[in-house]
Amino acid sequence: MFSYLRERFTSHLRERSRRRARLVSKDGRCNIEFGNVEQSRFVFLIDIWTTILDLRWRYKMTIFISAFLGSWFLFGLLWYVVAYIHKDLPEFNPSINHTPCVENINGLTSAFLFSLETQVTIGYGFRCVTEQCATAIFLLIFQSILGVIINSFMCGAILAKISRSKNRAKTITFSKNAVISKRGGKLCLLIRVANLRKSLLIGSHIYGKLLKTTITPEGETIILDQVNIEFIVDAGNENLFFISPLTIYHIIDKNSPFFHMAAETLLQQDFELVVFLDGTVEATSATCQVRTSYIPEEVLWGYRFAPIVSKTKEGKYRVDFQNFSKTVAVETPHCAFCLYNEKEAKAKDKKGYDNPGFVLSEVNETSDTKM
């Protein structure tokens, strides 16, 4: 029992360290932080709209509530000051013929309520501005205009946050593992991707980046060096008909960074394969990007994906997502170099070879038979 718990704890720590080492998590979040940024934080306030949109929901709702409560309370104080200066409050014992700037403001609480009614245009009809004070009329106009600005900005930020295309990316999913097997006589790295909605992504494009640490011939160490990885779909990797799950694949040829890897050495490699899917949301025409990553432990050599699409008796096509990440072991060469050497050997066996030392000599045939 103790050894089992120790093994589980060790595997858990190893998994946590792998997650921390990722640049891109499985759900597409980037694991990176910026340090010693020389520019002031004031530059983020200049682009206040993007800053508000990028905030987490708890901070955004805090700003949303604070903006309205703060403006109501601030203008409530101003209305109280107007009533105090004009001696409209009950403690000044105004005469019967006294006309206040604002009817029925008796203290700070009633001034706050009048501020709220004015800014949100409730209009209960109990408190109202009279024509006695030009200051009150100006303050009413100013609060109404500022209230419209605050309401438009904050409600627009909430609506934009809800309708961001990043949420559409949540309904695009990649397979848990990538596999390496033969496809069309070539050794390929395959990944499965699915659209969980029936609405399409228009103009979808799939590509990848292999991130690894490289050392240049000059001795410079480049961390997170990026190598382009081309992915292909049988129907073409441009303008995908993304209504059913697709299997994208990368051909491991002599130009591929996976060419010199083998089944025995794959887990010893240090790389991260980041896969991107760009497209336009059909409903909103907003562009979105979906991304995920694979580390060597998540690349299975000698496997292919199980079938996922079938046709029912009623003529409908059914997608079984239970088999979405399921893999099946298949016979696969243990390295790309061996596969291509095997092909070259078979091709040479079918051809003849010229012997440069062979000389053809002509022989005259004579007949020794006498008639």
Residues 43 and 131 in one domain: yes
* Rounded Cα distance, 114 and 33, in Å: 47
Q: How far apart are CA 81 and CA 223, in angstroms?
A: 62
Q: What is the pTM of this model?
A: 0.68
In this prediction, residue 239 carries a pLDDT of 62
Does residue 69 sit within a domain?
Answer: yes
Residues 241 and 323 reside in one and the same domain: yes
In tens, the pLDDT along 243-273 reads 788 888 899 988 888 988 888 888 888 889 9
Contact 252, 186 (CB under 8 A): yes
CA distance 275 to 285: 22
208 and 333 inside one domain? yes
Question: Could you give the maximum distance between any two Cα atoms of the chain, in Å?
Answer: 166
Domain boundary among 163, 191, 222: 163
The answer as to whether 112 is a domain residue is: yes
One domain for residues 171 and 156:
no
Residues 242 and 322 in one domain: yes
Which portions of the chain are predicted below pLDDT 70?
A: 1-20, 36-41, 165, 234-239, 340-371
Q: Residue 209: what pLDDT?
A: 92
pLDDT of residue 39: 65
CATH of the domain at 179: 2.60.40.1400
Give the residue from 126, 148, 163 where a domain finishes.
Answer: 163
Determine the pLDDT at residue 108. Answer: 93
- In a domain, residue 16? The reply is no
258 occurs within a structural domain:
yes
Contact 255, 186 (CB under 8 A): no
Mark which of 148, 163, 178 sits at the end of a domain.
Answer: 163
Same-domain check for residues 94 and 189: no
Predicted pLDDT at 146: 94
Task: Please report whether residue 208 resides in a domain.
Answer: yes
| 186 and 134 in a common domain | no
Residues 96 and 244 in one domain: no
Q: In this structure, are 58 and 155 located in the same domain? A: yes
7-to-2, 20, 254 alpha-carbon distances in Å: 9, 20, 40
The pLDDT, as a whole number, for residue 136 is 92
Task: List the domain range (segments joined by +) for residue 121.
Answer: 39-163
Give the model's pLDDT for residue 336: 79
Q: What is the pLDDT of residue 72?
A: 95
> Same structural domain for residues 256 and 123?
no
Structure tokens at 300: 């299975």
What's at 118, amino acid-wise?
T
Q: Classify residue 108: in a domain, yes or no.
A: yes
In this structure, is residue 48 part of a structural domain? Answer: yes
Helix or strand or coil: residue 129? Answer: strand
Q: Can you spell out the DSSP letters for 258-309? A: TTT-BTTTGGG--EEEEEEEEEEETTT--EEEEEEEE-GGGEEETEEEPP-E
Give pLDDT, residue 3: 67
Same domain, 223 and 78: no
pLDDT of residue 370: 47
The enclosing domain of 150 has a CATH number of 1.10.287.70
Residue with tokens 């530059």: 43
- Residue 18 in domain: no
Provide the number of structural domains found in the chain.
Answer: 2
Residues 314 and 226 grouped into a single domain: yes
Beta strands in the chain (DSSP E): 172-174, 178-183, 186-195, 201-215, 221-229, 246-251, 271-281, 287-294, 299-301, 303-305, 309-311, 317-319, 327-329
